[in-house]
């Protein structure tokens, strides 16, 4: 990740939970979408099990639970284009860029604290 990238914004939402197992991911994405709709500049960081939110091929749950993959499609519509991920987490699951629904920038160790410092508000989910 180039050190010239601008890591600043109004809100950083950190997504640490996998889809389907809990509502954390959906509730975090909802907060991001609402902030964007309110005109804030929003960044997303997919960290830990949260990187699985980006995995291709997600479907509905057995009771018809929607999951969050369809919500990801809405990010661009809301002008949320600063997407970051923890490359170690991705590797932990044996996933590569080609397995992802959306491109997200891999953050190196030095950039993560800068990303957090650069946003006025940081919410973790």
Partner 1 sequence: MRYGLLVKGAPYSSQASHSALRFAAALVARGHRLKCVFFYHDGVYNAARLAAPPQDEPHLYDAWRSLHDEHGTQLQVCIAAALRRALLDSREAERHGKSGHSVEPPFELTGLGQLIDLGREVDRLVTFAP
Partner 2 sequence: MILHILNRPPSSSLVYRDALAAMGAVDRLLLIEDGVLGALTAQVRHFQAIEGRLFALREDLSARGLEGQCDASVQVVDVDGFVTLTEEAGKTVSWF
Confirm if 32 and 46 have CB atoms less than 8 A apart: no
For residues 82-121, which are near partner 1 according to CB under 8 A? 120-121
Residue 113 burial by CB count (10 A; 0-12/13-18/19+): exposed, middle or buried?
A: exposed
81 contributes a contact to partner 1 by CB under 8 A? no
Interaction site with partner 2 (CB under 8 A): 14, 16-22, 47-49, 52, 55-62, 65, 67, 69, 86, 89, 91-95, 109, 112-114, 116-117, 120-122, 124
- Quick one: which H or E segment has residue 73? helix 69-77
Q: Which two tokens stand for residue 62?
A: 């057995």
Q: Using CB distances below 5 to 8 A depending on partner kind, what does residue 94 bind out of partner 2, partner 1, none?
A: partner 2
Q: Least separation, in Å, of the C-beta of 61 and partner 1? A: 6
Confirm if 15 and 119 have CB atoms less than 8 A apart: no
Nearer to partner 1, 37 or 117 (CB): 37
């Amino acid at each position: 990740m180039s050190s010239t990238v601008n890591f600043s914004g109004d809100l950083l939402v950190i997504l640490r939970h996998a889809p389907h197992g809990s509502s954390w991911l959906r509730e975090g994405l909802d907060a991001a979408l609402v902030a964007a709709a309110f005109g804030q500049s929003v960044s997303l960081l997919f960290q830990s099990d949260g990187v699985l939110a980006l995995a291709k091929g997600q479907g509905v749950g057995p009771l018809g639970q929607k999951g969050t993959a369809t919500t990801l499609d809405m990010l661009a519509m809301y002008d949320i284009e600063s997407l970051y991920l923890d490359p170690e987490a991705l590797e932990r699951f044996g996933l590569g860029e080609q397995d992802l629904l959306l491109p997200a920038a891999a953050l190196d160790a030095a950039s993560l604290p800068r990303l957090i410092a650069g946003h006025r508000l940081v919410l973790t989910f």
